[in-house]
Amino acid sequence: MRSFGIEFLLAFVFISAGGCGRAPSASIAPPASDVAPLVLLSVTSDATEDPQAVDMALKLAGFSLDEGRHVVLFFNVRGVKNPSHALADDFAFEQDEPIKQQLADLIERGVDVHVCPICMKALGVAESDLMEGAQVTTRAGLFSNIRSDTAVLTY
């Protein structure tokens, strides 16, 4: 019985000294790497059908860049029409900058633009239809951008 009391006392001291039950300090667990956080925006909307959704996705991409994040735009489903010649150069949501100009500016700022080949085929969009800087993606190309800390948003 006496050893149980000593073991209990030692366990109590160990737990108390170890900080069991306290929230960890942010300085204890620094980020695993210095890689910028990633935002992947999945754009499934066609700008001619839902211009506000596409405009908002592009604006959020710009805001994410402003915050120092790495940004990937993945155009899929009906969204494959947006980075293509199928969309008029001057097409815009309300009084905002044209969609294609916003996209070109984002590409110039370093956004990676991936376009789904399966969706392109279904909608008759050819690789030659894509604007400069947009690339037909592969599974490996897209998934290499997805990490455990990736924020994924869909428009």
User: So where are the chain's domains?
Assistant: 36-154
Number of helical (H) and strand (E) elements in the chain, helices listed first: 5, 5
* Per-residue pLDDT reduced to its tens digit, 62-121: 999 999 999 999 999 999 999 999 999 999 999 999 999 999 999 999 999 999 999 999
Running DSSP on this structure, what letter comes out for residue 23?
Answer: P
**pLDDT band at residue 33 using 50, 70 and 90 as cut-offs:** low
Angstrom distances, CA of residue 100 to CA of 21, 54, 88: 53, 11, 8
3-state class (DSSP) for residue 16: helix
Residue 20 has pLDDT above 50, yes or no: no
What's the CATH class of domain 36-154? Answer: alpha beta
- Please report which helix (H) or strand (E) contains residue 58, including its range: helix 51-66
- Residue 31 pLDDT > 80: no
